[in-house]
Amino acid sequence: PSKVTIQTLKKLYKDNVPISVVTAYDYPSAVLAENSGIDVILVGDSLAMVALGYKDTSEITLDEMIHHTKAVSRGAQRPWLVADLPFGCYHASTEQAILSSVKMVKEGRAEAVKIEGGKRMARRIEAIVKDVGIPVVGHIGLTPQTAVSLGGFRVQGRTLNGAKQLVQDALALQEAGCSLIVLEAMPSPVAESITNLLDTPTIGIGAGPYTSGQVLVFSDMLGMFDRFMPKFCKQYVNMGQQIEQALSTFAKEVQDGEFPKLGQHTYNMPPLVEEQWK
Ligand code: KIV
Ligand code: NA
């Protein structure tokens, strides 16, 4: 299978083939995503919580995001590689947004950056896309970096005005030149209307089945995050439980002297040497 580019995504969109997106945070998760045929990898700032144990995503720095994005880029070459710009590194000005995007691409080896926010981010997104030439993925609805001002992690666009605002935000992001737009935690009919109205692919998470693609958080879908699981996530396997079982079996076998087994997990000396050694 060949390298996924913006052109590939446009073709999938044109052919009505839903786009699959998953987050990845390090080399092994990137290899798994690559081998599974996922179209797009997002190094989401969810990594602050699910991989680094921070309380929320606002604590992670651009350099930490770059460190992980580099590792992901070493594990996966085929999927399109998008990385989140974290809280605070694109809010101050268009210039700051450009510098952070360039740094993420040059040092992190990302192919695109993702920025949270609708209309209010449109000007700087346009500058990143059109002045610098770095593709940008938008993100509206529940935007975790500003969850505090949204009144917590809650579904957006449930009032008529709220829904209209989301449509306006989506249009502004399309106008600004976003390659994809993530729609997070909104009623399905709102995501459907936005998707029908735009000619930019939408990627839903908690936004129902009528978007142009879907994204899930690696750790949530694989049962590898201990703190909570959003309603909209589907857990495909409980890896956390399986890993815990394996680790506790290991601990017990060590205590019981059952591991390692002589001959099976050990190196022999050549018989003549062993004789002399003894
Ligand atoms: O950080 C993240 O994982 C994300 C996705 C949920 C879209 O932004
Ligand atoms: Na994110």
pLDDT for the residue 121 = 98
Q: From 92, 95, 110, select the one nearest 179 (Cα to Cα).
A: 110
pLDDT for the residue 152 = 82
**Cα–Cα distance, 78 to 274 (Å, whole number):** 50
Residue 146's SS3 state is helix
Residues 194/202, Cβ–Cβ less than 8 Å: yes
Burial string for 21-40 (b: 16+ CB within 10 Å, else e) reads bbbbbbbebbebbbeeebbb
Residue 186's SS3 state is coil
Q: Nearest bound ligand to CA 145?
A: 2
CATH architecture of 6-237: Alpha-Beta Barrel (3.20)
Q: Is the CB of 215 under 6 A from ligand 1?
A: yes
Residues 162/111, Cβ–Cβ less than 8 Å: no
Pocket test for ligand 1, best of 85, 142, 205 (most atoms within 8 A of CB): 205
Among all residues, which ones are annotated catalytic?
Answer: 184
Rg (CA), the chain: 22
What is the pLDDT tens value at each position of the chain, 278 positions in all? 899 999 999 999 999 999 999 999 999 999 999 999 999 999 999 999 999 999 989 999 999 999 999 999 999 999 999 999 999 999 999 999 999 999 999 999 999 999 999 999 999 999 999 999 999 999 999 999 988 788 788 999 999 999 999 999 999 999 999 999 999 999 999 999 999 999 999 999 999 999 999 999 999 999 999 888 888 999 999 999 999 999 999 999 999 999 999 989 999 999 999 999 98
Q: Nearest residue CA, atom 3 of ligand 1?
A: 44
Four-point Cα dihedral 250, 253, 259, 261, nearest 10: -130
- Region for 87 from its dihedrals, namely left if φ exceeds 0, alpha if ψ lies in -120 to 50, beta otherwise: beta
Strands (E) in the chain, as ranges, are 19-23, 40-43, 80-84, 112-116, 136-141, 180-184, 202-205, 213-216
Q: Domain-by-domain residue ranges, the chain? A: 6-237, 242-277
Ligand 1 centroid from CA 194, angstroms? 19
pLDDT for the residue 150 = 80
Pairing of strands 19-23, 213-216: parallel
Closest ligand 1 atom to residue 182 Cα is 7
Q: Nearest residue CA, atom 6 of ligand 1?
A: 217
Closest ligand 1 atom to residue 215 Cα is 7
64: which residues sit within 8 A by CB, 6+ positions away? 48, 52, 86
Amino acid at 116: E
pLDDT for the residue 195 = 98
Q: Give Cα 190 to chain centroid, integer Å.
A: 23
Q: Nearest residue CA, atom 5 of ligand 1?
A: 44
